[in-house]
Amino acid sequence: MCVSSVRVPSVCVRSSVVAVSPSSPQWWSLRCSRLSRAFYKVRKQGGHVVAGGATLKYNTARQCISSAAASAAPAARVPYALDNERLAAWVTAPPPEKEVLRVVSWNVAGMRGMLNNKDKASEFSALIRRTKPHHLLLQETKLQHTNVEEVSEKLNKLRLYEDGSDDTTTVGDVLKHRVWSCSRARKGYSGVAILSTEPHTWKSASVAADHNEEISALVEEGRVLTVRDKSGWVVCNAYVPNSGVGLKTIRRRIDAWEPALCSHLERSAAGAFVGEVATTSSSSLENETSDAHPYDVEMAGALSTPVAQDAESKAPRGVVYAGDLNVAMQPQDLWGNHHKNRKLAGYTDEERECAAKLLQDVQLHDAFRVVHGEDVKAFTYWDYRSKARLENRGWRIDYTLVTDADAVLDSFVLDDVQGSDHCPVLVVLSAA
């Protein structure tokens, strides 16, 4: 079937049919809810998709609809189209005069669960194949130190291309350089990781100027990793503590975490980089014990050590702060029901005020808003329990914040990617 022949995509699942024209103004809101719901059912039931009058397999139909959508919608207003041409261009053929850095961030809701499930593992490898990230930032890995070697082996065996392809490249072949921060406070909880294509230096030290009991407890949960790559960008990956049911832990977040992280980012932006360790391969970090080579971000009293300059590194370029920040900063980052949600974790006045203060103090810019403006709605998290993803009742709580707004070339919310209650986000930065 020729992709260009698709005029009105339709999805048929059992007795329900969804049909919309990609040229209609309702296409994008419908795609997020009805089409995602139908695609999800097709995948779970092993069915087929009816598109343009022909019965196709799931992946073929999605490609047809993606192509039709990309050609019909203005690129500047579509930050989260499926496999659109704009995203593909930044991956396969960026402008020759631009040296770019692609940073993908994703809360995977359990790394072992992701890799042990065939469908989720396929989504994971497809994401890497599709975006070719220079840095892949993962949150909520739920790993212990003893799990890291097992997960690394799975990454080394997970093929980047589907079975049947002659290309046997694995995820491990591409993202060779990895650092992990695992929770020592609770098993199967929290944890972050940074997987990179090139060697970098990483920070094992301190997100706070004061070593206190509350911050120590947060650090034990493995919530922060910061690296500096050869382009000069300092990349901080964070899984910000949730304020909890009934806001039970909001004071710990507001009074301990937020000031500590703000200090960490301010000093990183100024060029301070403590606990720097050069990495040349993943094994140098993954196979060490936490005592000899700590995965956990540790606290230190001062952050005054300047960034080391090696022969291959450029001068400091700026700071990228990305991850699951557990706050919807603006009203347009929340699907609705704003008044009621002001009493819930992630949208309280205090949390949003702290986020605004962080942006101001560190002079950070929301990469998504830099590209797409203030009016575009896009969500990155949907509550599993209420089946919110089926109706697109989402929150945008996964951000990429940068100190240099002029360096932001493009930004995407990849909301068609399944496998977690969060979806990945991608930012394209100038690395020159």
SS3 329: coil
Confirm or deny that 107 is annotated as ligand binding: yes
The stretch 352-372 carries a mean pLDDT of 96
For the ranges 122-126, 228-232, 276-280, the lowest mean pLDDT is seen at: 276-280
Confidence at residue 15, expressed as pLDDT on a 0 to 100 scale:
32
DSSP label at 70? H
SS3 137: strand
Annotate 340-365 with b (16+ C-beta within 10 A) or e (fewer): ebeeebbbbeebbebbeebbeebbbb
Same domain, 66 and 109: no
Same domain, 180 and 269: yes
Rounded CA-CA distance 290/310 in Å is 26
Residue 78 lies in a domain: no
Confirm or deny that 421 is annotated as ligand binding: yes
Residues in the chain: 432
Rounded CA-CA distance 125/82 in Å is 16
Rounded CA-CA distance 158/164 in Å is 14
Computed over every residue of the chain, the mean pLDDT equals: 76
Tell me the CATH number at 281.
3.60.10.10
Residue 11 lies in a domain: yes
Confirm or deny that 48 is annotated as ligand binding: no
Instruction: Return the higher-pLDDT residue of 370 and 66.
Output: 370
Bridge partners, 277 (sequence order) = 202
DSSP label at 277? E
Q: Is the pTM of this model over 0.95?
A: no
Confidence at residue 92, expressed as pLDDT on a 0 to 100 scale:
83
Confidence at residue 299, expressed as pLDDT on a 0 to 100 scale:
26
> For residue 17, what are the domain limits?
3-73
pLDDT in tens, 10-31: 444 333 333 433 433 333 333 4
Give the chain's domain count.
Answer: 2
Rounded CA-CA distance 389/387 in Å is 6
Q: Which of 13, 48, 73 is the last residue of a domain?
A: 73
Confirm or deny that 153 is annotated as ligand binding: no
pLDDT in tens, 189-227: 999 999 999 887 765 444 443 445 666 666 788 898 888
Between the alpha carbon of residue 168 and those of residues 171, 172, 222, 318, 350, the distances in Å are 10, 11, 33, 36, 50
pLDDT in tens, 81-104: 444 678 888 988 777 767 899 999
Nearest to 192 by CA among 264, 140, 236, 121: 140
